């Protein structure tokens, strides 16, 4: 299990880039935010490992692979961020947007929260977090709005082209 701790922490959480099939590149603002972060968490469907490498050039990264990733990596993993056990998975293992099953799975693993992707749509219910698609890549459930999350000292901040929105607290 990867442990990330510190007095002040900033983690950038993103998913579903689908580069180069459905999007050309990672958004410039995302890359700037990644450079200012202590850690990046990627939740699958890069479709090219080059996405992982591009972010790794800027910040340490942990990731899981999704159903569209054709490279090696874990499908499920646990990290500790700010003293909380966080489960990471893409979400395709449970169907599209079945957050109740994902939450039940997370509780079986004694996770304090779970980060997931797959739907390309932002979601947070206080326990399950889906940052949406960082590129706004097409999906049946998607709203087409590029979205990722900054976790700053436990505060969840959703970032879109329209700006930042504080969503709530993870801790």
Residue 56's DSSP bridge partners are none
Q: What tokens were used for 30?
A: 């995302």
Strand order of the β-sheet with 155-160 is 61-63, 39-42, 10-14, 148-152, 155-160, 163-169
Q: Are strands 2-4 and 128-131 parallel, antiparallel or unpaired?
A: unpaired
Q: What tokens were used for 163?
A: 């700006």
pLDDT (0 to 100) of residue 138: 85
| Domain ranges, residue 97 | 2-169
Question: Cα separations (Å) of 155 from 11, 86, 112, 149?
Answer: 10, 15, 15, 10
CA 16/CA 42 separation, integer angstroms: 8
pLDDT (0 to 100) of residue 3: 61
pTM: 0.94
CA 23/CA 38 separation, integer angstroms: 26
Question: pLDDT of the chain along its 171 residues, tens only?
Answer: 666 666 578 999 999 999 988 899 999 999 999 999 999 999 999 999 999 999 999 999 999 999 999 999 999 999 999 899 999 999 999 988 899 999 999 999 999 999 999 999 999 999 999 999 999 998 887 888 999 999 999 999 999 999 999 999 987
pLDDT (0 to 100) of residue 104: 96
- The CATH number of the domain holding residue 65 is 3.60.21.10
Q: What tokens were used for 59?
A: 């910040």
pLDDT (0 to 100) of residue 155: 95
């Amino acid at each position: 299990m990867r442990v990330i701790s510190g007095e002040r922490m900033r983690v950038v959480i993103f998913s579903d880039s689908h580069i180069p099939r459905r999007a050309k590149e990672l958004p410039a603002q995302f890359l700037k935010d990644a450079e200012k972060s202590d850690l990046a968490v990627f939740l699958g469907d890069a479709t090219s490992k080059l996405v992982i490498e591009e972010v790794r050039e800027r910040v340490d990264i942990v990731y899981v692979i999704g159903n569209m990733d054709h490279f090696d990596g874990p499908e499920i993993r646990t990290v500790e961020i700010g003293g909380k056990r966080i489960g990471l998975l893409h979400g395709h293992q449970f169907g599209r947007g079945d957050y109740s099953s994902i939450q039940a799975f997370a509780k079986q693993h004694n996770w304090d929260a779970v980060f997931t992707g797959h739907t390309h749509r932002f979601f947070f219910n206080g326990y399950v977090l889906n940052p949406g698609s960082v590129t706004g890549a097409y999906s049946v459930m998607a709203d087409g709005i590029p979205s990722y999350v900054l976790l700053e000292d436990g505060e969840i901040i959703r970032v879109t082209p329209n700006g930042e929105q504080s969503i709530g607290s993870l801790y």
